[in-house]
Amino acid sequence: MVASAEKQEIVVNLYRPNAPMIGQCVETYSIVGEGAPGLTKHIVLSLPDPRYKYLEGQSVGIIPPGEDAKGKPHKPRLYSIASTRFGDDGQGRTVSLSVKRAEHVDKDTGEPGVGVCSGFLTDLKAGDEVMITGPSGKTFLLPEDETANLILIATGTGIAPFRAFIKHLFEEDPNYQGNIWLFFGVPTSSTLLYQGDLEAWKAQYGDRFRVDYAISREQQTADGKKMYVQNRMAEYGSELWEMLQKPNTYTYICGLKGMEDGINSFMAPLAEQAGQDWSKFQKELKRADRWHEETY
């Protein structure tokens, strides 16, 4: 968890765009299965400055090399951190990212292209230099409550901060006593990022860790439509509503913005049945720091 003393010492914007830190790619590998649509990689970067410390839920800025169309240096792109505060090296001297290669077709020329930063990152080889800014963000951190029960909702690379959350709480925090329930939405089975880790945690921690997948191109709802993460959650609507009534339940949402409307659409009638207004109740959860969204 994040103790109050740690929150006071959170490092933010130690390195800025005009003077970034120069790290190196330590390791990079694909985290999608064979035949997956698109490429997503786990990328480990070195942090040469020991003052660069981060917590689970923060983001790191990456400045791709070169210049933009106006001849100016590229602005940093923010990526949620996929490693715990100790890094994948266990020493806190690395930071890990989950990066999907953004591919598109130029409307005018019909030529294929890739995102400036995602293309740069997914092309990295061990030893390549990377301009790093940050760390950034204070709003997506873990709670202080060691009995907290977490509802984690992710799509695609939105799983990145939750890999960090789960690994830290179960493997690094001996005082954590709560449970974690993850809902993870992806298009195909081959794009279930970190599935090996998730299944290992499920096997090791039993009832303390639940995971439900929504695989939109392979699974269907009861009425024959595509199974998105909000549809999978709706199957457990009453149980989720009951959990949200407890003061030690914290919800985190990371990924595509579209899922927010889907979540609201099945939570609203549940709230109404309980004589409450969902939008008001959700605002209360946010004010109490029990509902966090990081969507794009």
Catalytic center residues: 79-80, 254, 294, 296
Contacts of 169 (CB under 8 A, 6+ apart): 1, 142, 150, 176, 178, 180
Contact 82, 55 (CB under 8 A): no
Q: Which amino acid is it at 146?
A: E
For residue 246, what are its two tokens? 């407890």
Residue 163: strand pairing partners: none
Peptide linkage before 174 cis (omega within 30 of 0) = no
Cα torsion 233, 237, 240, 245: sign: positive
Q: For residue 129, which amino acid is it? A: E
> Which residues have a Cβ under 8 Å from the Cβ of 60 and sit 6 or more positions away?
45, 54, 78, 79, 81, 95, 97, 132, 133, 134, 135, 136
In our burial notation (b when 16+ CB lie closer than 10 A, e otherwise), range 192-205 reads bbbbeebeebeeeb
Ramachandran region of residue 285, left (φ > 0), alpha (ψ -120 to 50) or beta? alpha
Quote the CA–CA distance of 53 and 11 in Å, as a whole number.
Answer: 6
CB 262 within 8 A of CB 231: yes
Q: Could you give the angle at the alpha carbon of 31 between the alpha carbons of 26 and 32, nearest 5°?
A: 150
CA-nearest of 147, 137, 136, 138 to 250 is 147
